[in-house]
Every structure is written in structure tokens, then in C-alpha cells.
Structure 1
Amino acid sequence: MADPNAEVSRNRVERSALEAVRAFSDAMDRMHTGLRSDMDMNATDLSALRMLSIREQRGELVKPHDLARHLGISSASTTKMLDRLAKEGFIERAPHPNDRRALIITLTESSRRDFGRHFAARLLRMREAMGPFSTEELGAVTRFLDGMSEAMLAD
């Protein structure tokens, strides 16, 4: 027979975890709003640059179609956005190394510096916040957040 106290305790912990996810999401939204203001760009442009930065750190190449799919925008809108970001010096288009018909999109060196400047202090504070946690606990947090991301994006 299931322990009713354990079920109540589990429900309480799950509710607390979801509230923490919501608070973290709100903090991320506020940070991105400030970043958009600092960099004088709209939400879609910033999302594109963030995606490029993350994929670059993973060593992944990004094609215009990848950006369109990630942002949920049309090919025409993607082309306009890329034209604007290239004109403003945030991105560069380059030939794909393995597919001569395709292009890849990369951040410019100045974009990398801008992101570094805007995120350096925040990244340091986030790393400091991880200090009290063991490697195993951080692994559990990573698995949890990965699971939450998958759950939110599932159709």
C-alpha cells in the first residue's frame, strides 16, 4: 500500500520544482529584455544570435533553414532577418564546408565580444551559484532541465 504522506511530500516537491522553473524562466526573460535593450535589437534577432552562440559552442554548423525552424519563421522572414543582422555586423554568411549549395551562418568576432561583455558577469554569478552543489547534484539538475525542455517542446 502506498504511503499517503510520501505522495503528499512528492506533490509538494514537484510543485516547488515547477515554481522554481517558472521563476528561472522569468529571470531569463528579464535578462533577455535587458540584453535586447542594451544591444538595441528585437526578440527574434536576439534569439537568433543566442542560438548561433550556443550551436557554435557545441561545434555545430547552422544553416538558414536551421534558424528558421528554431525561430518558427518563414524562409522569407529568415532572409530579411539575416540581411539585417549581416548589415549591422552581427553575422556572416559563409559557404558550407561539405555542401557547396548551402550556406552557414556564423557570428562575427564583434558579436562574440558583445555577448561575452554582456554575459561575463552573469556567467560568473551563475558559476558561483553552482559552487555549493556536488557534481552529482549538478548532473541531476542538468537531467531535470533537459527533461523540462523536452516536455515543453513536445507536440
Structure 2
Amino acid sequence: MSSKEDARRISGSLIDPRVIDPRQELVRHDDLSDEELAQVIGVLDAVRGWREAEQRLSFESRTAMQLNETDMKALRYIIASTNANVAVTAGALAEHLHISTASVTKLLDRLERAGHIVRKPHPTDRRAVTVEITPETHRQVRRTMGLQHARRFEVARALSPAEREIVTRFLTDLSATTLITAPPE
């Protein structure tokens, strides 16, 4: 087998416990049939595929609009707030993004220079400023992220109520497995 073929074979098996943990020190799988093990690996492979597709879409959207991840999160928050008839302030953005108001000021300066947002006086508080997305940027976000969200919604909608419950429980439980730091040895 060539080194390229070996690389592809190993890359495709990084979620297979027979490859990543053959002595079953972390992942016990000897109680599963070959078919059950293949199904579990199939589920994890599908999750990996979804994560990679999501990352590609996010990267492509941000690249096309010349934004970083925080910029895109800010624009999506501004759109959602606008749709809910809620004025967006720097303080609200700081809270949503979990960053300082000084960082939000820099973010807003960058987005304004790029033509993505405009600042306007707050309608009821003379000391405050609101943030609005420009119509062109709103159209761009809807063409990329909005269209993708609509497709995802239709996939979830096609599931039966029982299937939605199972998927929700699975993804919630899967999210809970994410460790911020490694456990002590």
C-alpha cells in the first residue's frame, strides 16, 4: 500500500476505537457486535461530517464578506434583534459576545469602516447609540447563513416528533461530553 493510501485509510478511521484505542483503555467496545460498532462509528462519522461542513460554510461566508468569526456573530445578533424590534447597543453586543465594551467598540469601528453597519442615535436614550446592519450586508448574510439555516430547518422538520426528541437528547448529551481541559491523570 502506498503512503497516500495509508494516510487516507488512517484519516478515515480516526473515530474507530479499534484504531484509536485498540487496547480499550478509554473506549470499551468488545460488548458490541460488528454491526453495532459500525453503526456507532457511522453516527460519529456523520457528526464529524456535519461539523466539517459547518466549519466550511462559516469560513466561506466569513471569507466572502471579509469578516472574522466574532464579526459574523455580531451581525447575526444585530439581524435577530432587528427582526425582534429590539435596538442593539454596544452593551448588548458585549453581553452577547462575552467581550468587553472596548472590544465591541473596535469591532463596531471595523464593521462600520467595511460598510456592514451604521451607528444611529438611540430613540429614547440621548447618551446611547444603536447599531444597524446595512441593507447590502443583510442581503449577503441572508444569501449565505440564512439560506443554510432554512435548509437545516427543513431537515429537522422532516423528522417525526419522536425522532426530534432522540436527536435533541443525543446532541445535548454529546455537547455535555466536551471538556474544556483534560481530566487529571
* TM-score (norm. length: structure 2): 0.56
Unaligned runs of 5+ in 2: 1-42, 179-185
Shift of 1:92: 0.9
The aligned residue for residue 67 of structure 1 is 93
Q: Structure 1 residue 104 and structure 2 residue 139: aligned?
A: no
Shift of 1:89: 0.8
Say which SS state the counterpart of residue 104 (structure 1) adopts: strand
The aligned residue for residue 52 of structure 1 is 78
* CA–CA separation in structure 2 for the residues paired with 1:122 and 1:54: 16
Shift of 1:136: 8.7
Shift of 1:134: 5.3
Shift of 1:79: 1.2
- 1:104-123 Cα distance to aligned partner (Å, 9 max, x none): 11111111111122235423
Say which SS state the counterpart of residue 94 (structure 1) adopts: strand
Query: Against the structure 1 CA distance between its residues 59 and 19, is the aligned structure 2 distance closer, same or farther, given a 3 Å change threshold?
Result: farther
Q: How many residues align?
A: 142
Residue among 62, 66, 69 paired with 1:36: 62
Q: Which moved more, 1:116-125 or 1:130-139?
A: 130-139
The aligned residue for residue 12 of structure 1 is none
Which entry has the higher C-alpha Rg, 1 or 2? Answer: 2
2:61–2:145 Cα contact (<8 Å) kept = no
Query: Against the structure 1 CA distance between its residues 29 and 61, is the aligned structure 2 distance closer, same or farther, given a 3 Å change threshold?
Result: farther
Q: Structure 1 residue 90 and structure 2 residue 116: aligned?
A: yes
Shift of 1:84: 1.3
- 1:61-107 Cα distance to aligned partner (Å, 9 max, x none): 21101112222222222112111111111011111112111111111
Say which SS state the counterpart of residue 82 (structure 2) adopts: helix
Q: Which moved more, 1:129-138 or 1:84-93?
A: 129-138
* CA–CA separation in structure 2 for the residues paired with 1:123 and 1:83: 28
Between the two structures, name the one with larger relative contact order (CA 8 Å, sep ≥ 6). Answer: 1
Residue among 141, 144, 169 paired with 1:118: 144
Shift of 1:31: 2.3
Unaligned runs of 5+ in 1: 1-16
Structure having the larger proportion of residues in helix: 1
* CA–CA separation in structure 1 for the residues paired with 2:83 and 2:145: 14
